[in-house]
Amino acid sequence: MKRKARERRPARPWSLGSRVTRGVVVALVLGSLVAVGPPGRSAHAVSTKPNILFILTDDQRSDAVPQLPKLNAQPSWMRFTRAFVEEPQCCPSRSTIFTGRYSHHTGVDTLESGAKLDESRTIATMLHSSGYQTGFLGKYLNGYPFGRGDYVPPGWDTFEAYEGATDYYNYVFNRNGTRVSHGAAPSDYSTDVWTSEARRFLSHTDPAKPFFLEVAYNAPHRASTGDPVPAPRDVGSCANVPFPVPPSFNADDKNSEPAWLKAEPRVGLYDMARQRRATCETLRAVDDGVVAIMNQLALAGRLANTYVVIMSDNGYEFGEHKLFGKGDLSEESVRVPLMVRGPGVVPGTTARLTSNVDLAPTFVEWAGAQAPTGFFDGASWAATARGDPRATQPGEVLLRGCRSGRDMTPHPCGGYPVDMGMNWGLRTANYEYVEYPNGERQLFDVVHDPYEMSNLASDPATLGIRQYLHSRIVARRGF
């Protein structure tokens, strides 16, 4: 007599997490099913301190998170809906991330001033001194190695950074003092190479010691030859992705514009759409890369004790306010994605006003490390991430802008059609305020005017608001 077949229960839908099956923890990590070993067992001692994996993209604006579809689909993230960068340019922003200090304190306030960074006091040195294995992979600072030979900055156990152009093909990087060249084969595609280097770093780390790893992809930055370059497998992947044209596209300010902005030429709709699509397709390899890195952590049984943070060094404009690029203080330029998951992190969203200056203090708190007294300009958001109702909520973030005109030699802030001049700004929950060196001002009510099209700075009724915001700029920058 045949036994009656056991009724099979329908499979439960998976989410980022794990379950125990026959003594093996099986985890679905961002769309891939992996076995991560028996619970509570390990062939090696495992650190009780948390690991930190920091993923930095290049020129990814805040509304481009859906262009990382595998990451975006996961419910385990806390997402910061009001995340900004203090100065929206690669070199100043990265220096601020390394130190938790404003660009006028790091001395790196243009694209060409990376050599001024004091590399002896960075997140790498602080965490290394606290027992962390530290690794940096990808785009470091513009101009590296600053004529100093193939040197490795202090604090990094593993350091691999572009020397010269940060392209997708035909580039050179310094691997711990040795120059490594890549060509134009599909296997040389830089995003995939940095993912492989990250996995190599993780496979060589001691599980008994915590790690801090920064993977600084150059994607989706424009290539030296033009548009961003997607991996061959991703060409056409965003062909059907819509890119809505906002009301601010090629628009003049309804009230008044600063002289530099009034002089900006309009941009082409087709060109902007083409570049947005190339940006989207280039981010697909980043999506794959982070999945691969996290899967490796899961296989090693280390994902549950790892904070994963994803952010961009600045935003980008594709025709809003007639602008293309970055460096100014419009929302598209300064607002960036910020997502975090890890031990004790509460999934969901937070409206905490947050800046890249807050990353280093957060990493130090997670690591139980020490920073010099009074060193940080930012503040940790670790309490916010774990859902602590007592977490501090900053009232504003400081901003600094710079765009160099094409007729300037050199171009310290990029070669844009019109020189803007270095300026200061402040972003609050309700307002964005900018002060230019020639006395011009911009004030936008971002609640009622989210596209920043109506400059209220000339309205006498806003005098009190402008005076208050100016006082906060002075307080934040220290002069």
- 326: DSSP letter: S
Measured from the Cβ of residue 247, the count of other Cβ atoms closer than 10 Å reads: 9
- 52: DSSP letter: E
Taking a C-beta distance cutoff of 8 angstroms, is the pair 131, 210 a contact? yes
Long-range contacts of 376-385 (CB under 8 A, 24+ apart): 376/100, 376/101, 377/100, 377/101, 377/102, 377/105, 378/100, 378/101, 381/80, 381/352, 381/354, 384/78, 384/350, 384/352, 385/78, 385/340, 385/342, 385/344, 385/345, 385/346, 385/350
- 226: DSSP letter: B
Q: Which residues pair with 399 in a beta bridge?
A: 425
Among candidate residues 475, 438, 439, the one with its CA nearest the CA of residue 457: 439
Identity of the residue numbered 173 = F
Taking a C-beta distance cutoff of 8 angstroms, is the pair 155, 360 a contact? no
Tell me if residue 110 falls in helix, strand or coil: coil
Tokens representing 398 are 């400081």
> 10 Cβ partners below 8 Å, 6+ apart?
none
> 182 Cβ partners below 8 Å, 6+ apart?
169, 170, 171, 172, 173, 188, 190, 193
Indicate which residues carry an active-site annotation. Answer: 90
Long-range contacts of 380-384 (CB under 8 A, 24+ apart): 381/80, 381/352, 381/354, 384/78, 384/350, 384/352
